[in-house]
Structure 1
């Protein structure tokens, strides 16, 4: 169990992950609390940064983003400034929806969404290949999304 979180807090987190639109009354009933203590706990979880926000899960294909691409990147570490310049440039690319520093033979992995392969090709040539400090870039296209929702963190009660 996480430090500072009890089983009721974890139950609240599980319920809100499954449905962030629950009213305080509905949530309180599901976690066996009265409404006021439930509201105080949710407020505390928000203020402490345990709950970082509430979001709608959008079907990327329905909004025209049919291509998901994993981009593995190695950079030329010349200086801390160069590293920061690279990171700042990547963060500014709206098609990059996830950006992680990783261990292993590559330095970073990006998850990129694009309309289609042609749109990704344009992004690759116009933005990704022009990133500062880029040494090597490899792309992997998602052929089928088997489990893609990252909104639910597995919390054990």
Structure 2
């Protein structure tokens, strides 16, 4: 945790990660502040980019995405232009829910959701294999999820 976050800031961040729907009064109570100083701290954390947004956590299966795939992609060239073209094309695919440049034999990791295996196969053939500069694609399917909610960072107190 960066040094500029004191214990109260870390308590606020933890509380918001657990439940972003807490009112400013409820947050203030949790950190033993009055409402105004608590709100100012939260506003400062937002302005500094520590808090980047508030989101509803959805169950992918409940909204129709039965497949979760981890896709490793190697591209032909790692120059700036080809990488930017690849990145823009990947970001335009709504089923890609996470996208990282990685170390190792592959260059990128994509986390993809799909309705079913047929939908994933269609996405693979029609979009992923046609991305600019793609040399190789390896797919790993999630068979069982043990801990999948990103957003709950282990904030020390």
- Classify the TM-score, shorter chain: over 0.9
Cα offsets for 1:62-104 (capped at 9, x unmatched): 0000000000000011632111111110010000000000011
- Corresponding residue SS for 2:129: helix
Alignment RMSD (CA, Å): 0.9
Q: Which runs of 5+ in 1 are unaligned?
A: none
User: Is 2:96 aligned against 1:96?
Assistant: yes
Cα offset for 1:2? 1.4
Residue of structure 2 equivalent to 1:54: 54
- Displaced runs of 4 or more, over 3 A: none
SS at match of 1:130: coil
Aligned residue number for residue 21 of structure 1 = 21
For the residues of structure 2 that align with 1:155 and 1:27, how far apart are their CA atoms?
16
The alignment covers a number of residue pairs equal to 157
The aligned runs of 1:1-157 (5 Å cut-off) are: 1-77=1-77, 79-157=79-157
Q: CA deviation at 1:3?
A: 2.5
What TM-score, normalized to structure 2? 0.98
Give the structure-1-normalised TM-score.
0.98
| SS at structure 2 position matched to 1:32 | coil
